[in-house]
Amino acid sequence: MAYDDQNIFAKILRGEIPCNKVFENDHVLAFHDIHPQAPTHILVIPKGAYTDVADFGENASPDEVSGFWSAVSQIADENDLKGDGFRVIANTGLNGGQEVPHFHAHILGGKALGPMLSKAA
Ligand code: 5GP
């Protein structure tokens, strides 16, 4: 799938749409999800144009990949999630329920999150 530079996270990266930023470095931007599913719900996105986790894994540079996952860990730490634990989700494609076609990881925490998938899944 070709990258659509009109997706909402591309617009956030370009500063065309505001976000509630929690972290930024050369490779990564992170901000609070607009519809939080847990007491803490942060989205972490690479600054590069990658559609999903598979595109990112195949095409991102080693610096981008390590920078992304280091940021995930740092953000979890800075938001006091490491002690009690947290969940990282990367919805991918149709079956994964991905809505925004710019790779992102959801960091969820702040309470016991229960089973990984809903009973309906
Ligand atoms: P996906 O289903 O693609 O994994 O998740 C997309 C996430 O982006 C959803 O949790 C949704 O609430 C969030 N989202 C969609 N539009 C915006 C927005 O404009 N700002 C922020 N902060 N989050 C958004």
- Report pLDDT for 35: 98
pLDDT by residue (tens digit) across 74-115? 999 999 999 999 999 999 999 999 999 999 999 999 999 999
Ligand 1 center from residue 100 Cα (angstroms): 7
pTM beyond 0.95: the answer is yes
120 pLDDT band (50/70/90 cuts)?
low
Give the number of other Cβ atoms within 10 Å of residue 8's Cβ: 15
Q: What angle do CA 66, 81, 110 make, to 5 degrees?
A: 135
Per domain, the residue ranges of the chain are 8-106
Tell me how far the alpha carbon of residue 62 lies from the centroid of ligand 1, in angstroms.
26
Atom index in ligand 1 nearest the CA of residue 37 equals 10
Q: Which fold has domain 8-106?
A: HIT family, subunit A (3.30.428)
